[in-house]
Structure 1
Amino acid sequence: MFERIAIHGWLCWALYLLAAGVTLTSESHRLCPQPCRCNTMLLEANCSDRQLNTVPDSLPQNIKLLNLTRNKIKTLVQQQFKALPQLLHLDLSDNELVFIEVEAFLGLQNLINLRLTHNHIKIIPVGAFAGMPKLKSLDISDNEILLFLDFTFCDLPALQYLTAVDNDIVFISHQALTGLTSLEELHLDGCNLTAVPTQALTQLSRLRSFHFYRLGIATLPNYSFRNLDYLKELVISHCPWLKMISGNSLFGLNLTSLTITHSNLSAVPYIPLQHLVYLVFLDFSFNPITYIHGNKLGGLLRLQELRLVGGSLLCIETGAFRGLSYLRLLNVSGNLLTTMEIGAFQSVDTLRTLGLDNNPLECDCRLLWLARRRPNLDFGGNSLTCATSVHFHGLNFLDLEEDELSGLLTCRHPRILNRKSQETRVDQGHTVMFYCTAEGDPAPSVTWLNPQLKPVSPTGRIWVLSNGSLEIRYAQPQDSGTYLCVASNAAGNTSLPVSLHVQAFPKSSRNPSRLKGWFVPQGINGNQQLPFDFKTLLVAATIGFISFFSSVSVCFIFMFFWSKSKGQIKHTATIAYVPRSTMTSGKGGSGNHTETSRFTMKLI
């Protein structure tokens, strides 16, 4: 009997569960709004592209993914999604959202991913993101957001990824990012910012990756990213006004990856890079950088990848990568390079990938090392063509055989054309010019050494002109000696000595000395006097008289107009005076007679 009762109970419970399951399934189907498509297996509700003006009601409470993209929703009201506690992913992209009320997402305690891209949001009120304690990813790109107020994101303690690009942000409050204690990656658009939001960024103590787009400043100031101790990746991109990176702008960072692309840097910022000893990846592509100078990047001990694509590189100097023992990828394609010499590298044994295409290469002996290392280098599938070589013009020289390359990739030793002995004697003060013209393949560079065998400075009284000539202006006795013209290229060098002897002025000379372009009078401190120049004196006196007369005239004119502006003005004045007493006396007596006289004067 008890067994029957037990069996009957189990059967009733099983039937109840089955009925409940059927009811739940039918209820789930029934609760899916008509415009949407629900998948009970994937727990997904797809309401995309349904011309919805509001978030539909009666959505299945157990769904984990809700797609509301490409609709016409304009407002999210308070507790809009409170009936969806199991929701993990919510996408509201490509709507017409203008306003989000406070606590609009309250109740989504399990939400992980929220996308609000391609809308018309201008301001996010404080408290709009309340009620999402587990949110990890937030994308508010492609809106019209103007500013971030204090504590805008304070309700998102678990947020790890925040993307806010393609907005109109003009101001970020100092406490706007407070509360993002778990944020690791930030993508920010700063096209209308007038300064780096340094104070706001200091709140992001765990930030590891920062992407800054369209920064609207010309100089990256010092200490822009202070207190970001965990930052490893910094990307600054599409900043057409950015011309300079201040020396301490990256101070305090221990970056492993630095990217500054699509900007206006004309030189590699060597000083800001000096302390980045952990840097592995460096990218300065699409900047008008013209030179990579020698012995400037040696502090980047761990650098493995260097990219400078689409720039204005004219030359990579010898020793440019000296100290970079781990460099394995170099991409300088799309520049103005004519060659790539082996002397630029610390060691080519570590190099694995080289991008050198789309450069006007001169195929000569300087590229022979490159051809011989073809089996060990990856050129990215791009061909290397020669722009100036008659033998290789338009051809990929990497496709040629070894014996052909050895015979064609050659250089011609430099030769100084006019080797006639140059010995010059001049008096002190004259300008002297020495000429040195050389030819070779490739075209040799010309340098000059002074009598102490030190390179002549490109500026100053003694300098080298752009055509290779040496100019000594206002020669002095100490300039005397032998100067050496050195012409060099990849095939070697040659030299030509020239001699200069400068005759000093005799110490007993009292006559005025005339230098080329200068006149120095003598005897100023002695007995000899400077000659009297009547013409100069007359001109000076005339100028002085004219200046004095002009000043007095201006004063009189000013007084005249000033008197005219002072109320009732009397244009005449009567002055009475007593003249000296007239004495009338005779022998027998004396007498005094006093007269008073008057006269009238006209005032102007």
Structure 2
Amino acid sequence: MFEGIGVHQWLCCGAIYLLAARVALSSETRRPCPQSCRCNAALQELNCSNGQLTTVPDNLPQNTKLLNLTHNKIRTLVQQQFQRLPQLLDLDLSDNIMSIIEVEAFLGLESLITLRLARNHLKIIPVGVFSGLPKLKLLDISSNEILVFLDFTFRDLTSLQFIKAADNDLVFISHQAFTGLISLQELRLDGCNLTAVPTEALTQLSGLRSLYFHQLGIGTLQNYSFRRLERLKELVITRWRWLETLSGNSLFGLNLTSLTIKHCNLKAVPYIPLHHLVYLVYLDLSFNPITDIDGNLFGDLLRLQELHLVGGSLARIEIGAFKGLAHFKLLNVSRNLLTTLEVGAFHSVNTLKTLGLDNNPLTCDCRLLWVVPRRLYLDFGGNPPTCTTSVQSQERYFLDFTESELPGLLTCRHPRILNRKPREVKVDQGHTVVVYCIAEGDPLPSLTWISPQLKPLSPFGRIRALSNGSLEVRYAQAQDSGAYLCVASNAAGNDSLPISLHVRAFPSSAKKHFRLKGWFSFPSASPGVNENQSVPFDVKTLLIAATIGFLSFFSSVSVCFIFMFFWSKSKGQLKHTATIAYVPRRTAPSNGGKGNYMETSRFTMKLI
């Protein structure tokens, strides 16, 4: 009986011991939630934000996967600060006052995927800080005070895919700073003090897919700025307020599908840098002071589907502007200065799905008539275009027009040239003449001048078409004579007016000539001209030529004498005599004997 009681007591003691050991083991692996933190055991999350912490808490639960230390006063991370958190996946240290991170501070976080260090006071990141993070994919170091990226700063982050480094004080990026980032896909370098694109550093990122540059002080994009980035698909450049030009080969080597250059100072579409981007699908040039889209210059962008040019100074889209763009689906030119958009600007309107034309001073006439049959199928982005220049349709949406109103609203008036006389203009040789051509129509017609050789005249040169529609011939010559044509054109048609220009040459007796006969002759350039005909010389011209020739000869001789004088002075005392020694010839033999030689003779010559 007593033996049974002893066995029973022994079993109870063993059970109590095992339970105590289990509790002790459990307390070892599941430590209590640190003070100033909030724990979520189900999510294995530890939230210590806004806890007034000055250092990272000790004795953190080892099974923590999410650690939030934001909005504290942590200043320093020491070496191997998180070595007891091998399962940690996400670490957020944003919004602290951190200025120092020691080398190997994150050593032991072998599972970490996301690391955020934004909005601290870091000025430099020592090489080796990111050691021991083999699985890290996202690094956020935005809004710090980092001045430079040193060589091999990120070399241990072989799995890193995203770097956010916006709003730092970066002035230089070393050429080898990005070495080791073989998996990087997206890089953001916004709001820095860089004065040039870090081309050499970017060449290390052969796998980069997206590159963002925001608010940089760069005025010109230099040639080959992005070489060796063959896999880059998206390039975003925004708020470079001094950027006015892109060099011709600045985008050379890229195979972009999306390009954004907005809030800059481009005054023209950069056709030359864009022309080789044959894979480009999306182009955004919004908020630039671009005034025109020229015709037939987008044709190389065969795959372009979207063009955004919002909030600019766009006043004209030429006929054929989008010629060759067979896949063009979206055009957004809202908030510009356009008065019209003609159907001839497109390769085909059948592919167009979205059209942004709102907030433009549109003239609703026949040039916009093509929009009417498509107005129920086009997406205007919730803001259909309005007519702002017509009294009958002012401030009315296209969608509000009824079928009965359209014939009287969207109309054009055929151009008509008003001043039909004179049809013949005479001018003396060497004088300047201006021929006026005035036309009316709705819309106001454009005026073009055609030369006698049937070529349009440009606004440049001695014979040019002025901006007011006039023809100017400066210093008229006999060969300028002929029939010129003024052509007035608008969407409703054209009108023309021929003008005959006759230039009176100088009479042959206007000048007296001095004729030289028999001095020289030239072959006749045309039949019927006498080959012995005297060559006329103008007396005044002959006197001027003779005077110039004499002065040139006199000047040359004077220079030679002066040179010889100074040269002789530099040689010191000169001898005025010269002694010459010579041997005379042998005398002829007499009576078969040998000839005799005369002695060597000398004589002295006086130099003058």
- How far apart are 1:476 and its partner, in Å? 0.7
- How far apart are 1:506 and its partner, in Å? 2.7
Distance change in 2, residues 1:531/1:208 (3 Å): closer
Secondary structure at the aligned position of 2:540 is classed as coil
Alignment of 1:335-414 (within 5 A): 335-414=336-415
Task: Find the counterpart in structure 1 of residue 258 from structure 2.
Answer: 257
Secondary structure at the aligned position of 1:287 is classed as coil
Give yes or no for contact 1:291–1:314 (8 Å, CA) kept in 2: yes
Task: Report which stretch shifted further, 422-431 or 58-67.
Answer: 422-431
Task: Find the counterpart in structure 1 of residue 132 from structure 2.
Answer: 131
- How far apart are 1:189 and its partner, in Å? 2.6
* Structure 1 unmatched runs, 5+: 1-10, 513-523, 534-604
- How far apart are 1:69 and its partner, in Å? 1.1
Q: Map Cα deviations across residues 427-460 of structure 1 (whole Å, 9 max, x no partner).
A: 2111111111111111111111111221111111
Q: Distance in 2 between matches of 1:179 and 1:50?
A: 37
- How far apart are 1:176 and its partner, in Å? 0.5
- How far apart are 1:529 and its partner, in Å? 3.2
Give yes or no for contact 1:372–1:402 (8 Å, CA) kept in 2: no
Alignment of 1:454-465 (within 5 A): 454-465=455-466
Q: One-letter code of the match for 2:158?
A: P
Distance change in 2, residues 1:17/1:368 (3 Å): farther
- How far apart are 1:402 and its partner, in Å? 2.5
Task: Find the counterpart in structure 1 of residue 540 from structure 2.
Answer: 529
Q: Distance in 1 between matches of 2:56 and 2:140?
A: 19
Give yes or no for contact 1:123–1:147 (8 Å, CA) kept in 2: yes
Secondary structure at the aligned position of 1:433 is classed as strand
Paired residues, what number? 514
- How far apart are 1:23 and its partner, in Å? 5.8
Task: Find the counterpart in structure 1 of residue 187 from structure 2.
Answer: 186
Q: Distance in 2 between matches of 1:349 and 1:508?
A: 70
Q: One-letter code of the match for 1:450?
A: S
Q: Distance in 2 between matches of 1:493 and 1:481?
A: 22
Task: Find the counterpart in structure 2 of residue 571 from structure 1.
Answer: none
Task: Find the counterpart in structure 2 of residue 65 from structure 1.
Answer: 66
Q: One-letter code of the match for 2:144?
A: N
Structure 1 outlier segments of 4+, above 3 Å: 11-30, 529-533
Distance change in 2, residues 1:335/1:23 (3 Å): farther
Secondary structure at the aligned position of 1:526 is classed as strand
1:323 aligns with 2:334: no
Task: Find the counterpart in structure 1 of residue 245 from structure 2.
Answer: 244
Alignment of 1:176-575 (within 5 A): 176-189=177-190, 191-510=192-511, 526=537, 528-529=539-540
Give yes or no for contact 1:487–1:494 (8 Å, CA) kept in 2: yes
Task: Find the counterpart in structure 1 of residue 556 from structure 2.
Answer: none
Q: Distance in 1 between matches of 2:381 and 2:538?
A: 83
Give yes or no for contact 2:331–2:356 (8 Å, CA) kept in 1: yes
- How far apart are 1:346 and its partner, in Å? 0.2
- How far apart are 1:215 and its partner, in Å? 2.7
Task: Report which stretch shifted further, 183-192 or 438-447.
Answer: 183-192
Secondary structure at the aligned position of 2:208 is classed as coil
Q: Map Cα deviations across residues 211-246 of structure 1 (whole Å, 9 max, x no partner).
A: 112232211111111111211111111111111111
Give yes or no for contact 1:352–1:377 (8 Å, CA) kept in 2: yes
Q: Distance in 2 between matches of 1:400 and 1:22?
A: 82
Distance change in 2, residues 1:169/1:17 (3 Å): farther
Q: One-letter code of the match for 2:540?
A: Q
Give yes or no for contact 2:356–2:384 (8 Å, CA) kept in 1: no
Distance change in 2, residues 1:511/1:461 (3 Å): farther
- How far apart are 1:31 and its partner, in Å? 2.4
- How far apart are 1:14 and its partner, in Å? 11
Please report the TM-score for the alignment, with normalisation by the length of structure 1: 0.81
Secondary structure at the aligned position of 1:199 is classed as helix
Distance change in 2, residues 1:17/1:334 (3 Å): farther
Q: Map Cα deviations across residues 70-101 of structure 1 (whole Å, 9 max, x no partner).
A: 11111111111111111000111111111111
Q: Distance in 1 between matches of 2:493 and 2:459?
A: 23
Alignment of 1:36-51 (within 5 A): 36-51=37-52
Task: Find the counterpart in structure 2 of residue 175 from structure 1.
Answer: 176
Q: Distance in 1 between matches of 2:242 and 2:118?
A: 27
Secondary structure at the aligned position of 2:350 is classed as coil
Q: Distance in 2 between matches of 1:500 and 1:274?
A: 43
Q: Distance in 2 between matches of 1:438 and 1:327?
A: 36
Q: Distance in 2 between matches of 1:135 and 1:153?
A: 11
Q: One-letter code of the match for 1:526?
A: F
Q: Distance in 2 between matches of 1:486 and 1:373?
A: 32
Q: Distance in 2 between matches of 1:500 and 1:474?
A: 13
Distance change in 2, residues 1:21/1:484 (3 Å): farther
Q: Distance in 2 between matches of 1:307 and 1:16?
A: 75
Alignment of 1:19-98 (within 5 A): 30-98=31-99
Q: One-letter code of the match for 1:502?
A: V
Identity within the alignment, %: 71
Task: Find the counterpart in structure 1 of residue 568 from structure 2.
Answer: none
Secondary structure at the aligned position of 1:31 is classed as coil
Q: Distance in 1 between matches of 2:415 and 2:22?
A: 93
Give yes or no for contact 2:30–2:62 (8 Å, CA) kept in 1: no
- How far apart are 1:28 and its partner, in Å? 6.8
Q: Map Cα deviations across residues 566-593 of structure 1 (whole Å, 9 max, x no partner).
A: xxxxxxxxxxxxxxxxxxxxxxxxxxxx
Distance change in 2, residues 1:36/1:190 (3 Å): closer
Task: Report which stretch shifted further, 320-329 or 449-458.
Answer: 449-458
1:107 aligns with 2:118: no
Secondary structure at the aligned position of 2:372 is classed as helix
- How far apart are 1:51 and its partner, in Å? 1.5
Distance change in 2, residues 1:330/1:474 (3 Å): same
- How far apart are 1:526 and its partner, in Å? 2.6
Please report the TM-score for the alignment, with normalisation by the length of structure 2: 0.81
Give yes or no for contact 1:241–1:263 (8 Å, CA) kept in 2: yes
Distance change in 2, residues 1:201/1:67 (3 Å): same
Q: One-letter code of the match for 2:291?
A: T
Q: One-letter code of the match for 1:229?
A: E
Q: Distance in 2 between matches of 1:268 and 1:364?
A: 27
Q: Distance in 2 between matches of 1:461 and 1:99?
A: 71
Task: Find the counterpart in structure 2 of residue 152 from structure 1.
Answer: 153
Q: One-letter code of the match for 1:431?
A: T
Give yes or no for contact 2:166–2:192 (8 Å, CA) kept in 1: no
Q: Map Cα deviations across residues 98-153 of structure 1 (whole Å, 9 max, x no partner).
A: 11111111111100001111111111111111111100000111111111000100
Secondary structure at the aligned position of 1:478 is classed as helix
Secondary structure at the aligned position of 1:263 is classed as coil
Q: Distance in 2 between matches of 1:339 and 1:99?
A: 60
Q: Distance in 1 between matches of 2:21 and 2:265?
A: 68
- How far apart are 1:19 and its partner, in Å? 7.2
Q: Map Cα deviations across residues 536-564 of structure 1 (whole Å, 9 max, x no partner).
A: xxxxxxxxxxxxxxxxxxxxxxxxxxxxx
Give yes or no for contact 1:169–1:189 (8 Å, CA) kept in 2: no
* Structure 2 unmatched runs, 5+: 1-11, 514-534, 545-608
